[in-house]
């Protein structure tokens, strides 16, 4: 029907990479929890939603720049993450996987419903930056470019932290083998709390960044939980660079499927890709940790 | 197990029952009891409550004006928690246990669709003021419904005004986008038909899944198709996201219209000046020259402390239509009231009422408004627009 030109493909690739960088950051959090604790955190999306609300309230009450609100939303939800891990999640870390799924699923319903009670279901938005930077024939959405830059910076920071620092190395050690890490004198409990907090902070950053792009409401988080699952399975569960690759890939696939096929099928195409990856490389593209 | 379920059910009922009392002094006659289930909790809670307020006001005023058939009018309202299955149970209960004299419709198409089977079974007339899906009324042969009546305009004609204005201005091409759900699909299909009838060409049509947040690829294709008009069958989040991304990707149709969501004040709050020039469809607005409309808006504001939404007006208007048919029939008997409802041509504060033999609404008019300086200005149809001018064409994003 429509003739697809290289310019159109270029524009769509740009949009896909911009979206993918956000998916990667949010999914890295989910992957971190799974890698360290073998817990699938269904409440990851709802935590992202809370991050978006922090940005909204700060913007609408004191007019705080939404990007500066990252400085509030990330520590705040880091603390909430630590608290959740300490009070609830730690009870299911060694339990069968179904228990942890049930717990985080319940947690997710509770967070969403509390948000509906506390914030109401009214749609909110942060009207901060609209329009785009234009470069030749291509348009770069301002809010999405900035979100991408922050996502890249935050993700890089998280990586360096995991790769270079002692604590980061301890986190990776625990995710490789908890028993050996414990024998080496690593305090596994603290590492679990730290990982859950860090993951929640990554989700919060995602929330603060999407707050400027989409309508904010208590149920907005669910799709990010699903997309993050998809990303970490694509990239390889427990493999942190894999989450990055998976995120970018998902962003690209969604947009290219929308362009060449229709928007209606973009999710289907993403899931078909997942099935193919699982058939060809069951451990994900970069290979997950063998369990 | 069964008794426990019943106990829970009864308990829920006891908690939810709401007898809308009326104070007028027609104490000697038994009041006419009108039953309805409405979504007072759950996803449809807000519109469901508005609809209840419309019913309530209608009953109160009818009773104060001397009642119907010499009796007061009272509503018996239960909460269906926004689920069709609960609605079905509640209408069974209203008809068989509470033995109400009449019923009115619930909120939303899915629940109306489900409870219509109950009201048909007991041959009860049901005016369903907030069911806009054609398939509830237009049924395959042998499955026709005889006792359900429509009040609002159907999904298919939501953007009739947009197409009409475009065709009159000589625009030739339209791109249609819609969420992939029942109502939005019906409305997109209807818009495409209307456009073709007016000699316009549909150059692009695509659906997107519910919850989609990134429309760039779709809009890149729209931009390449370069349509004069973009018509989007939306809910709310999607309408906002589409407008934002159209700006980002510099997609510049001469007219942009959305179905649902564009009429909410939040639409402008979110988009600010970017909402200017955008057209939206609405079943009803507070400033239309319908008989009794000003009185309705005033008494509603006095009673509930805010402006009525169209859900309240539709509930109010639907209730008036039903009571009028009862008056004309001189009886509450289903078949007599049905005959009157089929014959009735009437105007309420909600607008025109007239149905065809299937109870399908044919007279109620949608209005098209345009956001102008932060206000919704009704620009179509001409007789309701009161001389308001369309701001046309929509300037490119770069020149605003």
How would residue B12 be classed by pLDDT, with cut points 50, 70 and 90? very low
pLDDT at A289: 53
Q: Is B267 on the interface with A (CB under 8 A)?
A: no
Q: Do B209 and A266 touch (CB under 8 A)?
A: yes
For residue B240, give the nearest of A2, A19, A215 by CB distance.
A215
Reply yes or no on whether the pLDDT at B82 is more than 80: yes
Q: Which residues of B touch A250 (CB under 8 A)?
A: none
pLDDT at A288: 59
Q: Do A259 and B207 touch (CB under 8 A)?
A: no
d(CA B43, CA B22): 29
d(CA A181, CA A170): 7
pLDDT at B57: 97
Q: What is the overall mean pLDDT for chain B?
A: 89
Residues 6+ apart with CB under 8 A from B379: B161, B165, B279, B368, B369, B370, B385, B388, B389, B390
What is the secondary structure of B205-239 as a DSSP string?
EEEE-TT----HHHHHHHHHH--SEEEEE--SHHH
Domains of chain A: 6-280 (1.10.3470)
Residues of chain A with pLDDT under 50: 290-291
Distance from CA of B261 to the nearest CA of A (A): 11
Question: Count of A–B CB contacts within 8 Å?
Answer: 106
Residues 6+ apart with CB under 8 A from B36: B52, B55, B75, B76, B77, B78, B94, B103, B104, B105, B106
Q: Is A13 on the interface with B (CB under 8 A)?
A: no
pLDDT at B28: 58
Q: Which residue has the higher pLDDT, B225 or A127?
A: B225
For residue A19, give the nearest of B214, B218, B249 by CB distance.
B214
State pLDDT tens for residues B51-63: 999 999 999 999 9
Q: Is B213 on the interface with A (CB under 8 A)?
A: yes
Q: What is the mean pLDDT of residues B289-293?
A: 92
The B residues from 171 to 200 touching A (CB cutoff 8 Å) are 180
Q: Is B399 on the interface with A (CB under 8 A)?
A: no
Distance from CA of B46 to the nearest CA of A (A): 10
The A residues from 235 to 264 touching B (CB cutoff 8 Å) are 254-259, 262-264
Q: Do A131 and B218 touch (CB under 8 A)?
A: no
Q: Which residues of A touch B204 (CB under 8 A)?
A: 1-2
Reply yes or no on whether the pLDDT at B23 is more than 60: no
Distance from CA of A211 to the nearest CA of B (A): 12
Domains of chain B: 2-153+289-353 (3.40.50.2300), 156-282+366-399 (3.40.50.2300)
Q: Do B250 and A139 touch (CB under 8 A)?
A: yes
- 8 Å CB contact between B154 and B209: no
Q: Quote ipTM for the complex.
A: 0.83
d(CA A96, CA A174): 19
Q: Which residues of B touch A116 (CB under 8 A)?
A: none
State pLDDT tens for residues B146-166: 999 999 999 999 999 999 999
Q: Which two tokens stand for residue B238?
A: 């999607």
d(CA B261, CA B245): 17
Q: What is the DSSP letter of B273?
A: G
How would residue B136 be classed by pLDDT, with cut points 50, 70 and 90? very high
Q: What pTM did the predictor assign?
A: 0.80
Q: Which residues of B touch A134 (CB under 8 A)?
A: 250
Q: Please choose, from the candidates A26, A31, A54, the residue with its C-alpha nearest in 3D space to the C-alpha of residue A286.
A: A31
d(CA A50, CA A124): 13
Q: Do A141 and B225 touch (CB under 8 A)?
A: no
For A120, nearest residue in chain B (alpha carbons): B46
Q: Which residues of A touch B397 (CB under 8 A)?
A: 131
For residue A131, give the nearest of B215, B247, B269 by CB distance.
B247
d(CA B190, CA A134): 36
Q: Do A12 and B217 touch (CB under 8 A)?
A: yes
């Amino acid at each position: 029907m429509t003739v697809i030109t290289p310019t159109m493909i270029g524009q769509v690739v740009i949009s896909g990479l911009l979206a993918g960088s956000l998916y990667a950051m949010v999914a890295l959090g989910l992957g971190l929890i799974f890698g360290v604790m073998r817990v699938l955190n269904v409440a990851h999306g709802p935590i992202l939603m809370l991050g978006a609300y922090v940005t909204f309230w700060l913007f609408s009450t004191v007019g705080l720049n939404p990007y500066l609100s990252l400085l509030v939303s990330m520590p705040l939800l880091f603390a909430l993450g630590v608290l959740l891990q300490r009070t609830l999640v730690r009870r299911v870390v060694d339990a069968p996987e179904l228990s942890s799924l049930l717990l985080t699923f319940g947690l997710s319903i509770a967070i969403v419903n509390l948000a509906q009670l506390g914030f109401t279901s009214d749609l909110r938005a942060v009207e901060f930056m609209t329009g785009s930077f234009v470069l030749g024939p291509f348009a770069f959405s301002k809010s999405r470019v900035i979100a991408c830059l922050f996502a890249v910076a935050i993700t890089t920071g998280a990586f360096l932290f995991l790769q270079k620092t002692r604590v980061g190395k301890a986190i990776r050690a625990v995710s490789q083998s908890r028993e050996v890490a414990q024998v080496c004198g690593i305090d596994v409990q603290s590492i679990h709390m730290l990982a859950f907090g860090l993951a929640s902070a990554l989700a919060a950053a995602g929330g603060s960044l999407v707050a400027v792009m989409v309508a904010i409401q208590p149920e907005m988080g669910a799709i990010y939980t699903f997309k993050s699952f998809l990303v970490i399975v694509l990239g390889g569960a427990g493999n942190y660079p894999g989450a990055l690759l998976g995120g970018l890939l998902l962003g690209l696939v969604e947009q290219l499927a929308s362009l060449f096929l229709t928007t209606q099928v973009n999710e289907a195409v993403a899931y078909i890709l997942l099935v193919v990856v699982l058939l060809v490389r069951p451990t994900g593209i970069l290979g997950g940790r063998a369990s | 197990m069964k008794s426990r379920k019943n106990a829970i059910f009864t308990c829920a009922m006891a908690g939810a029952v709401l007898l809308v009392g009326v104070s007028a002094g027609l104490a000697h006659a038994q009041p006419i009891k009108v039953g309805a289930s409405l979504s007072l909790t759950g996803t449809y809670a807000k519109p469901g409550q508005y609809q209840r307020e419309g019913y309530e006001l209608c009953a109160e005023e009818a009773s104060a004006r001397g009642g119907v058939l010499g009796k007061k009018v009272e509503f018996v309202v239960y909460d269906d928690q926004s689920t069709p299955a609960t609605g079905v149970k509640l209408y069974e209960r209203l008809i068989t246990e509470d033995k109400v004299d009449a019923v009115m419709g619930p909120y939303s198409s899915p629940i109306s669709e489900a409870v219509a089977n109950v009201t048909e079974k007991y041959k009860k007339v049901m005016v369903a003021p907030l069911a806009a899906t054609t398939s509830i009324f237009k049924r395959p042969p042998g499955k026709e419904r005889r006792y359900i009546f429509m009040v609002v305009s159907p999904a298919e004609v939501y953007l009739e005004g947009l197409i009409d204005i475009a065709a009159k201005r000589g625009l030739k091409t339209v791109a249609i986008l819609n969420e992939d759900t029942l109502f939005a699909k019906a409305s997109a299909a209807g818009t495409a038909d209307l456009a073709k009838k007016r000699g316009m060409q549909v150059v692009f049509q695509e659906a997107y899944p519910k919850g989609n947040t990134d429309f760039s690829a779709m809009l890149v294709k729209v931009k390449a198709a370069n349509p004069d008009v973009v018509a989007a069958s939306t809910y709310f989040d999607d309408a906002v996201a589409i407008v934002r991304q159209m700006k980002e990707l510099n997609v510049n149709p001469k007219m942009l219209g959305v179905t649902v969501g564009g009429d909410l004040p939040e639409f402008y709050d979110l988009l600010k000046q970017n909402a200017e020039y955008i057209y939206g469809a609405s079943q009803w607005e507070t400033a239309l020259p319908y008989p009794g409309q000003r009185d309705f808006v005033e008494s509603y504001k006095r009673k509930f402390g805010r402006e009525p939404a169209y859900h309240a007006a539709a509930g109010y208007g639907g209730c008036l239509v039903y009571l009028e048919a009862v008056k004309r029939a001189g009886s509450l008997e289903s078949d007599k009231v049905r005959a009157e409802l089929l014959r009735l041509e009437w105007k309420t504060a909600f607008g025109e009422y007239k149905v065809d033999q299937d109870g399908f609404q044919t007279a109620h008019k949608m209005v098209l408004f345009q956001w102008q300086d932060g206000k919704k200005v009704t620009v179509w149809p001409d007789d309701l627009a009161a001389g308001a001018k369309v701001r046309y064409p929509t300037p490119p994003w770069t020149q605003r």
